[in-house]
Structure 1
Amino acid sequence: MTATESQAEVRPAETPDDAPARVIPAALPLQPEDPPRVGEFWLRGRLGANAAGYLYTASDETGRDAVVAMMTEGSADDAAARERFVNAVDDLPTEAVLAHNDSDDDDLALWAAIGPIRSDDGTSAASDERLIAERRGEEVLSAVLMDRVPQLGLLRGPDFRHYWENRRRPGLFRIWPLPWPAVLRPASRLALVLALLMMAVIMALAVFLAWLLFRHAQPLEPEPVIPTPTGTVTVTITPTTPPPGTGSGSPTTGTTPSLTPSPLPTSGIPTDVPSSPGSPGSPGDKF
């Protein structure tokens, strides 16, 4: 098993009444591929990993701490490995399993939150509860790997190895509701608020500069003609000379000059009608 064993340093008791306190090393930070949350538990760091899954330290919204065991993508795709994970979780004491997802979710990796773990108050009892939860999580992952199954018979042939051992990324998970922005720390929230304010200031500055550039812009010459819904355009014609018969140099206000079309001249227009039969212009001569 390649899982990192929980290390503990035992402090020597100075007096008989002083109980030994175990110092638990801090967990490793989460990697980008690690889920930020499974179920109602927020993951805080890695405690161990092997080909079967990962151990995380986690806590829920109420501050309840737990150790989360989660399968890798390789083991989660194996039906036999999933069954071994479920059986190992069922073998744990009922009070030790705080939460787990449904084993019928074939597209998701199985996980289980193991506890209970009291808040770290510096006493040996809190350290022991965390160590017990870690041991139980390791047993669940070892059941998936089958590395603690006693050897029957003689060792012959090549070593046994699962076909999915190279696929060690965390298994698929689903987050709902989304973790953002509840998981953000106060410093991250302040940076987010400052970024939004900066974006608002930049947008307001851009609008102000556009107003300064175009506030003295002249209207288009000539103004665009907007057609009516029927597709026609109305154009108003203002005469520069008074119509005949008004006797004034300017058109009368409130009157519209009438434009009468002049008759077309009738002389000089060929009619192509022959004056007598047999003339050159007769159409009947062409056939």
Structure 2
Amino acid sequence: MTATESQTEVQPADTPEERPALEIPDALPLQPEDPPRVGEFWLRGRLGANAAGYLYSVRDDNGRDAVVAMMTEGSADDAAARDRFVRAVDELPEDAVLAHNDSDDEDLALWVAVGPIREDDGSSAASDERLLAERRGEDILSAVLMDRVPQIGKPRGPEFRHYWESRRRPGLFRIWPLPWPNVLRPASRWALAFALLTMALIMALAVFLAWLLFRHAQPLEPEPVIPTPNNTATVTVTPTTPPPGTGTGSPSVSVSPSLVPTTGIPTTLPSGSIPTATDPADKY
């Protein structure tokens, strides 16, 4: 065996051309603090972010794609930053601005939908429209942040930094109408309807069982007795049926002792007698 044959074969390393290309997602997943919807557009993912705002990939109910630029809570609280956002939006072509909120809503973050973006059919035109919309959104946020302003003179002293750069959460937003019925899938809608129907049946069964248990129940307390202005007694006459072979039955009389005056009426009443109203001053 020669030295050449004894050497082990070394596999050549993969060249950059042979390595598989890394797949970069079109957008990053949404975070819990991101709004589910702004205006008529549903958010699908994050395209980018800086201290001035966020870029979102969005789509409306009609299937129209766009890019939304939205301010952060820090930049939205700065009047000068809001003015720069509005000025940057006004500089865009009219056909590039699909929708935006009112700048007079000072309690809400400003946002703008940039497009139009055709449906991704694999053509270069669709990719160009998406890249152009993303670039326009980046220009709007850069105008707010002022990071592309050329340096004038020699830099001296500390670096410039906005006081609101640390507040990078998405700005305040308002959702109206509420999005939860439209965002549900058909399967989720059936599950929600089934849950509501089950709750209604359980409530109806509980009411029916309560009716069966308490329909023959006697009142726990007697009915209230309302005294008359003359302070007379309340008498209840209950006719009784005599047993067979006896004479005519006599009515049973019951008197409320608390309402009988202490003077002028005896403590015991004969059977069959009914007390009458008596003036307490007439003792004889």
TM-score when scaled to structure 2? 0.70
**1:191 is aligned to 2:203:** no
Distance 1:104 1:202, change over 3 A: same
Matches within 5 A, 1:209-228: 209-214=209-214, 217-220=216-219, 224-227=222-225
Code of the residue aligned with 2:34 in structure 1: it is D
Code of the residue aligned with 1:153 in structure 2: it is G
Structure 1 SS opposite 2:236: coil
**1:114 is aligned to 2:114:** yes
- The answer as to whether partners of 1:35 and 1:43 remain within 8 angstroms in 2 is yes
Deviation by residue 1:169-226 (Cα, 9 ceiling, x = unmatched): 11111222222311222233233223212322322332344345445x54247x7224
Corresponding position of 1:153 = 153
Structure 1 SS opposite 2:218: coil
Corresponding position of 2:56 = 56
Corresponding position of 1:104 = 104
Q: Which runs of 5+ in 2 are unaligned?
A: 1-16, 18-22, 252-270, 277-284
Per-residue deviation at 1:27? 1.8
Deviation by residue 1:31-86 (Cα, 9 ceiling, x = unmatched): 22222222222222211111100111112222211100010110011111111111
TM-score when scaled to structure 1? 0.70
Structure 2 SS opposite 1:139: helix
Identity %: 77
- The answer as to whether partners of 1:88 and 1:140 remain within 8 angstroms in 2 is yes
Corresponding position of 2:200 = 200
Distance 1:229 1:171, change over 3 A: farther
Corresponding position of 2:85 = 85
Code of the residue aligned with 1:174 in structure 2: it is R
Matches within 5 A, 1:143-182: 143-182=143-182
Distance 1:233 1:128, change over 3 A: farther
- The answer as to whether partners of 2:66 and 2:115 remain within 8 angstroms in 1 is yes
Code of the residue aligned with 2:30 in structure 1: it is L
Distance 1:225 1:89, change over 3 A: same
Distance 1:94 1:204, change over 3 A: same
Per-residue deviation at 1:228? 5.4
Q: Return the alpha-carbon distance in structure 1 between the equivalents of residues 239 and 56 of structure 2.
A: 91
Q: Which runs of 5+ in 1 are unaligned?
A: 1-11, 13-22, 243-247, 262-287
Corresponding position of 1:70 = 70
| Structure with the greater alpha carbon radius of gyration | 1
- The answer as to whether partners of 2:72 and 2:168 remain within 8 angstroms in 1 is yes
Q: Return the alpha-carbon distance in structure 2 between the equivalents of residues 171 and 88 of structure 1.
A: 18
- The answer as to whether partners of 2:76 and 2:171 remain within 8 angstroms in 1 is yes
Matches within 5 A, 1:137-148: 137-148=137-148
Distance 1:257 1:62, change over 3 A: same
Code of the residue aligned with 2:222 in structure 1: it is P
Deviation by residue 1:200-257 (Cα, 9 ceiling, x = unmatched): 2322332344345445x54247x722445969884324599x9xxxxx843479xx94
Distance 1:65 1:24, change over 3 A: farther
Corresponding position of 1:46 = 46
| Alignment: residue pair count | 230
Code of the residue aligned with 1:128 in structure 2: it is D
